[in-house]
Amino acid sequence: MVLDILEYPDPRLRKTAATVPVVTADIRKLVRDMVETMYAAPGVGLSATQVDVHKRIIVIDVSVARDELKVFINPEIVAAEGEAQCEEGCLSVPGYYDTVRRAARITVRAQDERGEPFELSADGTLAVCIQHEMDHLVGKVFVDYLSPLKRARLMAKMRKKQRIAG
């Protein structure tokens, strides 16, 4: 089922996600729905926070063929090094892109959709995407990295769009 994606500046995007104590059938269904939503959007990553479910779950597929799905439940970055600047966009901030500075290489520890623990080292687009989606789990949106002026302009634009959509 395709879920509704919250749009910035919706205050629900600021909620901190709770740890998933055990991976149940309900969690696996949520993961499937998140994957369907991400592909339909279309996007390369989605956090549960963005669909108004405040659990520590993210799904990512940065492949061109859309066949390298990665599921991270309770992700935590255990190592980060270097610095990279990359243009980012966000399904919760449709149509807006800007450059963000993040770690160039990361190692993340998480559980998969079966609850099995794993560790993954990533760089490039995958590393950026993991960091971006993990930010959502702590109530942070990529526009928080922008200057106050850029953020204010974007907020005004998004609020106007919401008023028009009514």
CB 110 within 8 A of CB 104: no
How is the beta sheet containing 57-60 ordered, strand by strand?
45-47, 57-60, 70-81, 105-111, 117-123
Residues 68, 81, 116, 133: which is the catalytic one? Answer: 133
133 is catalytic: yes
Query: Residue 66: which region, alpha, beta or left (left: phi > 0; alpha: psi -120 to 50)?
Result: left
- Amino acid identity of residue 153, one-letter, is R
The residues annotated as belonging to the active site are 133
